[in-house]
């Protein structure tokens, strides 16, 4: 049986801005229902508790926050186009992006693939508003509306080339979309599919329709299968899942929320009414899904029902389920519906249910179903083998099965059977890499299209990572895979998650630091600099060796190659801290081993040299890595070189002089036993030769106030004193060496090699002749590397290069030092890698992590900007004023503020949308201001003002005492006393009388006004 894996999820529902919040809402049995936001329509104008034409019986519903926010810049959509787009399109775009990230994929990775997009949608209210405003129908309005565009936009912006279509089967739309997506995957039409659903309510039309059809709950809440059920409440939402064939997901080691085992779709046909639910068709579709999934109904642990909470709908649905479950063995099947929390999210209802089931299977807990406690006894659930989820249900170990229903108003029914993801043990073992990998320290990388976006996302990641323990390796590994593809490249090493959180927060808070840790990519051109003799020290790179299996692998390999020639393990010599590492015999092979192993480590990490340069003996590792000779030949040569030099008699020395070579050449004319050995810079030269002669020169230079330093060396390298070994060395070097395959800057010639072999002649001359580092390095700089990478135990060449004149054109390269010194560990290598990443290099991340670290981790998906807001051009939908509406003053605030209260940014609609923090800024609320003041309201306002510290002009009647004005029970006690002082007639009033009437200022005023009005009459009678 072919199965579909749900690998990525993202959603926004009422009271739940993201997937985590959605699960939290479900587990809290939270209520996402509230008053129709002012932005949508003037709900009071359309409200009539009693049946009336053009009126709805409720002002409540499930509304998502910020439907107007859209990060158009992220998708490079112009403000004008964004403003014309149906918010459903905008929300889907952001939601799909996040769902793909949640699947552990960089959305760019899917670009160009045959990924399918299937969107369930039934509301077209934006188009109804904007495409009927004929004077304003623009090109943007055309592409900004229409069902097809919801799916096609996603395909366009993510560059997905599989099937892309919108599905409208009314309330079952998004589950039908999931069904089609699954079929497309199973038929091989695509390898990935995004299935989504969306519903944003812009007009009261459906609320009025539900009311007129007798289906609308007066409190705007669906109460599925409850004795309290009294109809439908509308809800909004957007949700997307990323689907794959299960075997592909498992083969890729992808995380799986849940598995779709089978889906089915059918139609009522000519039933007893176009819009009436049909028990027989529902029964059939459920049965078909069970068959397709190959499950026994008795094995289904729970079902997420359609559950609109209408008398007929609930009745039909449980009858259909009962057909399959009555008489089942074991416990009755648990039943619930998320509509109790969100309302009926219509086009998004199927996806809301699917996500709930997937999360429940993933968490192995099914949330309680809101309103289930007061079970509708008339449904006789027990007899039908059903029970309501009155409390959360823990799923037992092992595979759990679940059902999911979604039924469309026009009679298109859908059902799905899901099961929990296969356990880790049942997954195919992943192939292991060629050899050990890992550098010992994780990195964290994140990209964003703009610095502000970067900052926002760094903060979001810090918060998410701080909330739950997470292994740094898995976080880093995932960050490289998912958070890639944008211009601004942030990278830091992440030794552990706590340190990472601290670094993310620090970077987000400090623009300078953020700038240092962020690059804008480009193409990294690296120059590898291999250090020469003198840079060695005991235990060099020991920290890295200990932490990094990758480096360990290569140092061991170098040691194996050297051992036949050195007779003693150079690696052990280094790691045990033996001071003999300073002896030429050991120093040369040891430096070669470290240089070669570091170079190979970097290569495995994807850091390949574009240019190479080795300082003197460092040239061996450079040449070997440039393909001049194989490791074994290099090992033989360098061991012999060190050994032969070691055997030379003492008596030579070297003197570093702060002077240029021309200046010194004159002095040396008289001293045949001393010569220039090294040219490190324009004013940095090393002399080499007979010790007595050197001391003589040193004195002379001292007299002329030229600074010198006698080097602690055993021999006079690169001098005539080397001559006795040349012949033997030439013998060893016979037949080795070819032409380097990469641009190699020779310190023998002081320039890049031009198709010249590095053969025995070369290496013999290399022993005797001076090291023209400054010349070679200057030419290397002129070739324009973006980074120098110091391949050796300490960064000495980088600082020499800094003293050279800058290249004629372009900037100096950034210096990267994978090993900084004796304390270096994997962290320095990671920092170096981070620097290169910022510079545009994409490392081979597989090599940077150990096999066990390369596991996916669900990171917080991209956090979009909510700075830009776009909403309906005409403002909130209002009732027509020729219709019989209650007499109300016109809103005073037609001239709405140009700024949104939340962000302070101008919105980019023709008529700016309002995002109000408090209700004070909206016009409609002024409707509720009491007309003329009277003594009671005056007294109450004064009392409230006094207790709460407000001016009476600040106190609108709509303000809620507890939520808006911050009252608490102590303040209420005081308020009562204050009111009494002003209105002695109220003395008999108790706190208990007052408590139920403290919802809002207006509420309290009304209550006290009534009370005062009745009061004198009573007194008269008693008098």
Phi, psi of 269 (to 5 degrees): 70, -150
How many residues lie near other proteins (CB under 8 A)? 21
Q: With beta carbons less than 8 A apart as the criterion, state whether 853 and 532 touch.
A: no
For residue 808, give every residue at least 6 positions away whose Cβ sits within 8 Å of its Cβ, in sequence order, or none. Answer: 782
What is the pattern of x (binds other proteins, CB under 8 A) and - over residues 367-406? -x----xx------------x--xxx--------------
Q: Which of 29, 169 has the CB closer to other proteins?
A: 29
Query: Does 546 contact other proteins by CB under 8 A?
Result: no
* Helical pair 451-467 and 497-509, crossing angle rounded to 10 deg: 150
| DSSP characters over 413-452 | EEEEEEEEPPPGGGSPPPPP-SS----SSEEEEEEESSHH
Which residues inside 43-72 make contact with other proteins, applying CB under 8 A?
none
- Residues 371, 305 contacting (CB under 8 angstroms): no
**Residue 402 beta carbon to other proteins: minimum distance, rounded to whole angstroms:** 18
Site for other proteins in 547-566 (CB under 8 A): none
Look at residues 386, 484, 487 and name the one whose alpha carbon lies nearest to residue 444. 484
| Contact set for other proteins, span 945-984 (CB under 8 A) | 968-970, 973
Q: Which helix (H) or strand (E) holds 652?
A: strand 652-657
3-state DSSP percent of the chain in helix, strand and coil, to 5: 40, 15, 40
Element (H, E) at 675: strand 674-681
Among 251, 520, 658, 995, binds other proteins (CB under 8 A): 995
Comparing CB distances to other proteins, the nearer of 51 and 966 is: 966
Considering the complex, state which of residue 374 and residue 960 has its C-beta at the smaller distance from other proteins: 374
Q: How far is the CB of 936 from other proteins (least distance, A)?
A: 23
The residue among 570 and 979 lying less far from other proteins, judged by its C-beta, is 979
* Closest CB to other proteins among residues 391, 783: 391
- The nearer residue to other proteins, 336 or 675, going by C-beta atoms, is 336
CA distance 555 to 589: 12
Write the CB contacts of 742 (distance below 8 Å, at least 6 apart in sequence): 609, 610, 611, 612, 626, 627
Q: Which of 176, 156, 64, 69 is nearest to 115 (CA)?
A: 156
Task: Considering only the C-alpha atoms of the chain, give the largest distance between any 2 of them, rounded to a whole number of Å.
Answer: 135
We find the least distance from the C-beta atom of residue 222 to other proteins, in angstroms, to be 18
- Cβ-contact 590, 570 below 8 angstroms: yes
CB 509 → other proteins: shortest distance, Å? 24
Q: How far is the CB of 239 from other proteins (least distance, A)?
A: 21
**From CA 751, how far away is CA 493, in angstroms rounded?**
36
CB 113 within 8 A of CB 160: yes
Backbone angles phi, psi at 965, to 5 degrees: -100, 0
Choice between 330 and 886, CB closer to other proteins: 330
Closer residue to other proteins in complex, CB, 765/991 = 991
Give CA–CA dist 5/995, Å, rounded: 53
In the bound complex, what is the minimum distance in angstroms from residue 389's beta carbon to other proteins?
A: 9
In whole angstroms, the minimum distance from the beta carbon of 392 to other proteins comes to: 6
- The nearest distance, CB 828 to other proteins, in angstroms, is 36
Closer by beta carbon to other proteins, 3 or else 384: 384
Least CB distance from residue 968 to other proteins, whole Å? 5
Site string for other proteins, 8-37 (x = CB under 8 A): ------------x---x--xxx--------
CB of 416 to other proteins, least distance (A): 25
Nearer to other proteins, 368 or 879 (CB): 368
Task: Give the interface segment with other proteins, choosing from 157-165, 647-655, 799-807, 987-995 (CB under 8 A).
Answer: 987-995
Listed residue (900, 915, 921) closest to 39, CA to CA? 915
Helix (H), strand (E), coil (C) string for 971-1022: HHHHHHHHHHHHCHHHCCCCHHHHHHHCCEHHHHHHHHHHHHHHHHHHHHHH
- Residue 970: CB minimum distance to other proteins, A: 5
Q: Which is nearer to other proteins, 29 or 865 (CB)?
A: 29
Alpha-helical (H) ranges within 705-772 are: 723-733, 760-768
> Under the criterion CB under 8 A, does residue 115 sit at the interface with other proteins?
no
Footprint (CB under 8 A) of other proteins, residues 597-636: none
Cα distance from N-terminal residue to C-terminal residue, the chain: 88
**Token match 């709930």: residue?**
356
Q: Which of 270, 468, 469, 880 binds other proteins (CB under 8 A)?
A: 468
Report the nearest approach of other proteins to the CB of residue 340 (Å): 12
Nearer Cβ to other proteins (40/978): 978
- Judged by beta carbon, residue 662 or residue 968, the one nearer other proteins is 968
1, 148, 213, 467: which one contacts other proteins (CB under 8 A)? 467
- Residue 223 or 455 having the CB closest to other proteins: 223
Q: Which of 50, 329, 809, 992 binds other proteins (CB under 8 A)?
A: 992
- Residue 119's Cα: distance from chain center in Å? 23
Shortest spacing between CB 367 and other proteins, in angstroms: 10
Distances (CA, A) of 445 to 297, 363, 827: 47, 29, 15
Q: Please list, residue by residue across 705-737, b when 16 or more beta carbons sit within 10 angstroms of its beta carbon and e when fewer do.
A: ebebeebebbbbbbbbbbeebeeebeebbeebb
What x/- string results for residues 334 through 373 when contact with other proteins is judged by CB under 8 A?
A: ----------------------------------x----x
**Cα distance between residue 382 and residue 387, in whole Å:** 6
Contact (Cβ atoms closer than 8 angstroms) between residue 686 and residue 655 = yes
Identity of the residue, 29 or 48, whose beta carbon is nearer to other proteins in the bound complex: 29
Q: How far apart are CA 996 and CA 1007, in angstroms?
A: 10
Residue 976's nearest CA partner among 943, 946, 948, 1014 is: 943
State the minimum distance, in angstroms, from the CB of residue 960 to other proteins. 14
User: Considering beta carbons, is residue 372 or 508 the nearer one to other proteins?
Assistant: 372
Q: Annotate 377-397 with b (16+ C-beta within 10 A) or e (fewer).
A: eebebeebbbbbbeebbebee
Beta carbon nearer to other proteins, 31 or 610: 31
Q: Choose between 393 and 598: whose C-beta lies nearer to other proteins.
A: 393
Q: What does the per-residue mask of binding to other proteins show for 891-920, with x meaning CB under 8 A?
A: ------------------------------
Token pair for 307: 């559950």
Report if residue 991 touches other proteins, rule: CB under 8 A. Answer: yes
Positions that interact with other proteins (CB under 8 A): 20, 24, 27-29, 368, 373-374, 387, 390-392, 467-468, 968-970, 973, 991-992, 995
């Amino acid at each position: 049986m072919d199965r579909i894996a749900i690998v990525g999820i993202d959603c926004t529902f009422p009271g739940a801005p993201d997937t985590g919040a959605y699960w939290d809402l479900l587990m809290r049995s939270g209520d996402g229902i509230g008053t129709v936001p002012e932005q949508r329509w003037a709900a009071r104008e359309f409200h009539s508790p009693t049946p009336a034409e053009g009126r709805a019986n409720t002002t409540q519903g499930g509304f998502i926050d910020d439907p107007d926010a859209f990060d158009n810049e992220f998708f490079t959509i112009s403000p004008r186009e964004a403003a014309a787009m149906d918010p459903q399109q905008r929300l889907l775009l952001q939601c799909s992006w996040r769902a793909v990230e949640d699947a552990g994929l960089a959305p760019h990775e899917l670009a160009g693939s045959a990924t399918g997009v299937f969107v369930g949608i039934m509301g077209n209210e934006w188009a109804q508003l904007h495409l009927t405003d004929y004077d304003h129908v623009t090109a943007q309005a055309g592409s900004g509306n229409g069902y097809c565009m919801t799916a096609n936009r996603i395909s366009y912006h993510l560059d997905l080339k599989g099937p892309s279509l919108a599905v409208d089967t009314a309330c079952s739309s998004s589950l039908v979309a999931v069904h089609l997506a699954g079929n497309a995957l199973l038929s091989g039409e695509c390898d990935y599919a995004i299935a989504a659903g969306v519903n944003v309510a812009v007009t009261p039309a459906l609320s009025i329709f539900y009311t007129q059809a007798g289906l609308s709950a007066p409190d705007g809440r669906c109460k599925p299968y409850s004795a309290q059920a009294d109809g439908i409440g509308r809800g909004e939402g957007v949700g997307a899942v990323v689907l794959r064939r299960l075997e592909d997901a498992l083969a890729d080691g992808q995380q799986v929320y849940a598995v779709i085992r089978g889906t089915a779709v059918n139609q009522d046909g000519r039933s007893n009414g176009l819009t009436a639910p049909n028990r027989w068709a529902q029964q059939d579709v459920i049965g078909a899904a069970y068959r397709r999934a190959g499950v026994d109904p008795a094995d289904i642990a729970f079902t997420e029902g359609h559950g609109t909470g209408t008398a007929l709908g609930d009745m039909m649905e449980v009858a259909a389920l009962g057909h399959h479950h009555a008489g089942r063995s074991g416990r009755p099947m648990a039943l619930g519906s998320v509509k109790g929390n969100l309302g009926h999210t219509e086009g998004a209802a199927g996806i809301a249910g699917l996500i709930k089931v997937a999360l429940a299977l993933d968490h192995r807990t099914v949330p309680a179903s809101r309103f289930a406690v007061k079970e509708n006894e008339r449904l006789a659930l027990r007899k039908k083998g059903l029970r309501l989820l009155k409390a959360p249900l823990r799923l037992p170990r092992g595979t759990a099965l679940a059902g999911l229903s979604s039924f469309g108003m026009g009679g298109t029914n859908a059902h799905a059977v899901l099961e929990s993801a296969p356990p880790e043990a049942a997954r195919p073992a992943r192939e292991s890499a060629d050899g050990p990998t890992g550098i010992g320290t994780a990195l964290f990388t994140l990209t964003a299209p703009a610095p502000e976006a970067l900052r926002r996302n760094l903060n979001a990641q810090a918060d998410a990572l701080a909330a739950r323990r997470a292994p740094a390796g898995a976080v880093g590994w995932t960050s490289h895979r998912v958070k890639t593809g944008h211009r601004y490249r942030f990278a830091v090493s992440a030794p552990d998650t706590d340190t990472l959180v601290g670094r993310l927060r620090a970077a987000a808070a400090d623009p300078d630091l953020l700038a240092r840790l962020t690059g804008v990519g480009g193409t990294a051109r690296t120059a590898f600099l291999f250090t020469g003799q003198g840079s060695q020290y005991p235990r060099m790179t020991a920290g890295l060796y200990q932490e990094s299996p990758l480096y360990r692998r290569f140092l061991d390999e170098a040691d194996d190659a050297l051992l036949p020639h050195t007779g003693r393990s150079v690696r052990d010599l280094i790691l045990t801290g033996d001071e003999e590492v300073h002896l030429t015999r050991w120093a040369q092979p040891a430096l070669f081993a470290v240089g070669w192993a570091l170079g190979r480590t970097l290569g495995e990490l994807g850091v390949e040299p574009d240019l190479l340069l080795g300082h003197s003996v460092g040239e061996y590792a450079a040449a070997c890595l440039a393909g001049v000779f194989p490791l074994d030949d290099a090992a033989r040569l360098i061991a012999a070189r060190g050994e032969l030099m070691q055997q030379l008699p003492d008596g030579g020395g070297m003197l570093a002089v702060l002077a240029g070579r021309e200046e010194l050449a004159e002095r040396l004319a008289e001293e045949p036993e001393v010569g220039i050995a090294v040219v490190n810079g324009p004013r940095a030269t090393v002399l080499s030769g007979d010790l007595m002669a050197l001391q003589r020169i040193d004195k002379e230079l001292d007299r002329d106030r030229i600074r010198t330093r006698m080097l602690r060396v055993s021999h006079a390298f690169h001098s005539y004193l080397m001559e006795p070994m040349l012949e033997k060395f030439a013998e060893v070097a016979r037949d080795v060496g070819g032409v380097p395959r990469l641009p190699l800057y020779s310190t023998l010639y002081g320039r890049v090699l031009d198709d010249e072999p590095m053969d025995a002649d070369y290496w013999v001359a290399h022993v005797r002749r001076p090291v023209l580092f400054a010349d070679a390095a200057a030419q290397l700089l002129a070739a324009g590397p973006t980074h120098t990478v110091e391949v050796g135990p300490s960064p000495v060449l980088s600082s020499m290069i800094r003293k050279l004149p800058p290249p004629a054109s372009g900037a100096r390269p950034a210096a990267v030092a994978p090993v900084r010194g004796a304390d270096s560990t994997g962290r320095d290598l990671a920092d170096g890698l981070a620097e290169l990443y910022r510079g545009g290099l994409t490392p081979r991340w597989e090599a940077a992590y150990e096999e066990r670290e390369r596991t996916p981790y669900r990171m917080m998906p991209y956090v979009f900007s909510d700075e830009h807001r776009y909403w309906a051009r005409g403002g909130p939908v209002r009732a027509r004023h020729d219709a019989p509406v209650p007499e109300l003053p016109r809103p005073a605030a037609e001239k709405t503020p140009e700024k949104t209260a939340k962000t302070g940014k101008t919105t980019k609609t023709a008529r700016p949308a309002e995002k109000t923090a408090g209700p004070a800024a909206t016009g409609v609320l002024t409707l509720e201001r009491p007309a003329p003041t009277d003594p009671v309201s005056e007294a109450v306002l004064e009392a409230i003002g006094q207790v709460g510290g407000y001016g009476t002009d600040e106190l609108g009647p709509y303000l809620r005492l507890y939520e808006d004005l911050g009252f608490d029970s102590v303040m209420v006690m005081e308020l009562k006393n204050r009111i009494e002082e002003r209105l002695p007639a109220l003395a008999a009033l108790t706190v208990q009388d007052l408590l139920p009437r403290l919802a809002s200022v207006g509420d309290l005023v009304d209550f006290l006004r009534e009370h005062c009005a009745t009061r004198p009459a009573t007194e008269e009678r008693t008098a």
